[in-house]
Amino acid sequence: MTTTMTSKQRMLTALQRGAPDRLPVTTHHLMHYFLETYLDGASEQAFFDHFGLDAITWVVPHRPDPTAGEFYDPQHTTPGFLESRRIASSDWRVEVEDLPDPRYRTTRYHFVTPKGALTMTAQSNEHTTWLSEHLIKEKGDIDLIGEFVTAPKCDVEAVNCVAEAFGERGLVRGHICCFDVFGQPGTWQDACCLVGTQRMIMETFDDPAWVHTLLQMLHRRKRIFVESLQGARYDLLELGGGDASTTVISPTIFENFVAPYDADLIAAAHAAGQRIVYHTCGGMMPILETIAAMQPDAMETFTPKQMGGDVRLAEAKRRIGDKVCMIGGFDQFHHFTKCSEAETRAAVRRAFADAGEGGGFILSPSDHFFDAEPTLIAAFADEARQCVYAST
C-alpha cells in the first residue's frame, strides 16, 4: 500500500522522475489581480490551503558584496514582480522618475554610471507591466553594463529561513537573477528585455558578434549569482523564458544563442547543489531534445496549441519523459473559465493519461493566470488528487 506523502515529498519525488502517491498538482506564480478579484485578497498560501493544491513559495533574496563596493539600493524597499532588492554601488545606481500618463502608471528609470546614464520606461495596469522604452538603444550602451553593472549574490541565510518555516508544505522555488527593474532568468530572455525581442532576433543575423558580447555580459552576472547558491535550501530554481520558445525564435537561434549560455548556468547550479527547471512558455516541440540535452531537472510549461503553444503532451512525454520531470500541460485559459466542472475534470484526466505514466509529472497551469473561476480551480485540484499511482 502506498504511503501518503507530504506535498514536498510528492513533488520532490516527481522532480526525481519517480512516481509519488498521487499526481502532484500546483500552479506557477499567483497574480495579485486574481487574488484580489476572485478571493478577496487572500494570501498565496491561503490560496493553496483553500483549494488543496500542493503548495509552492517563491523567495528571491539577494545580498550585496561589500568587498566589491556593493550595497542595497536605499531607495528600493518594495521589490516588484521577479525582483529582489536592487544591489547598487557608487558606479551603478538606479534613479526613479514618475511620469504623468492618463491611462497607465508610468515610470522612467535612470541607470547612472560614471560614464553616462541609460534610461528605461515601464508602464503598468492592474494586470501586468511592460516596457515602452528599452534600456539599450545604441550598441555602445552595453559597454556601460559590461563595466559597471553590479552582480547580486544569493542571501543563503534568508532562503534557508523561509525553507525552515515552510517545512513539508511544498516546494521552495526561486529563479536565477534578472536584470535590474525589468528582466528575466534566462540569458537570452534577459537580453530581449533590455533590447527588444524583434531587434534581438534581427541582430543575430546582422551583428551576431554584438549579440554574443551582450549575452556574455549577462551570463557572467548570472553565473556569479549561481555560484553563490551553495548551501541555499531551494527545491527548484527557474531559468529560461518565453522569448526562447519556438513560437518566438527558430531552433537554430536557440541552439546558437540560448543553449550555450543557459546550459552552462545549469551545470554551475548543479555544482552548487541546486535543481533547475527550464521555462519556455510557448513553442517547445522542435527543441524538446535540445532543452533536455542541457540537463535541467525539469521543464515547463508545456503550453498546448489552443493557448498559443504547440505542445502535444503525450508525444512530449514519449520523447523526453525519461530525461526530465515535466511541469505544466494544463490549459487554464479554456478550463479555468467558461466551461463546466466536468470539462475541467476531463482535461485533468487527459493530462494524467498523456504524461503521468511512471511519474515525473507535476500538473500545473501553463504559466500564471489572471482570471479563473474558483469552482473550476477546485474541480482541477480535486480531480488531480484522485489521480493515484498504482501501489508498488
How much is the pLDDT for 357?
Answer: 95
Decide: 233 and 272 in contact? Cβ < 8 Å.
no
Chain segment 234-272, per-residue pLDDT in tens: 999 999 999 999 999 999 999 999 999 999 999 999 999
Q: Which of 226, 255, 254 is nearest to 242 (CA)?
A: 254
Chain segment 197-217, per-residue pLDDT in tens: 999 999 999 999 999 999 999
Residue 300 scores a pLDDT above 50: yes
Residue 5 DSSP code: P
Q: Which of 242, 302, 298 is nearest to 275 (CA)?
A: 298
Residue 2 scores a pLDDT above 80: no
- Residues 186 and 218: their CA atoms lie apart, in Å, by 9
Decide: 359 and 13 in contact? Cβ < 8 Å.
yes
Chain segment 138-154, per-residue pLDDT in tens: 999 999 999 999 999 99
Cell of 214: 551582450
CATH architecture group of domain 7-62+150-385: Alpha-Beta Barrel (3.20)
How much is the pLDDT for 1?
Answer: 46
Chain segment 369-378, per-residue pLDDT in tens: 999 999 999 9
How much is the pLDDT for 77?
Answer: 85
Residue 391 scores a pLDDT above 90: no
- Residues 367 and 304: their CA atoms lie apart, in Å, by 11
Residue 82 scores a pLDDT above 90: no
Q: Is 94 helix (H, G, I), strand (E, B) or coil?
A: strand
Q: Which of 32-41, 70-79, 189-198 has the lowest mean pLDDT?
A: 70-79
Residue 130 scores a pLDDT above 90: yes
**Strand pairing report for 87-89 and 70-72:** antiparallel
- Residues 363 and 132: their CA atoms lie apart, in Å, by 35
How much is the pLDDT for 246?
Answer: 97
- Residues 268 and 279: their CA atoms lie apart, in Å, by 17
Q: Is 218 helix (H, G, I), strand (E, B) or coil?
A: helix
pLDDT band for position 186 (50/70/90)? very high
Chain segment 349-369, per-residue pLDDT in tens: 999 999 999 999 999 999 899
Chain segment 20-64, per-residue pLDDT in tens: 999 999 999 999 999 999 999 999 999 999 999 999 999 999 999
- Residues 260 and 241: their CA atoms lie apart, in Å, by 15
Mean pLDDT within 97-115: 97
For the chain, give every domain's residue range: 7-62+150-385
pLDDT band for position 78 (50/70/90)? confident
On average, the pLDDT of the chain sits at 96
How much is the pLDDT for 392?
Answer: 46
pLDDT band for position 80 (50/70/90)? confident
How much is the pLDDT for 390?
Answer: 81
Predicted model pTM? 0.96
Transcribe 287-354 into DSSP letters.
Answer: GHHHHHHT--SEEEE--BGGGT--B-HHHHHHHHTTTSEEEEEE-HHHHSSSS-HHHHHHHHHHHHHH
Mean pLDDT within 93-102: 96
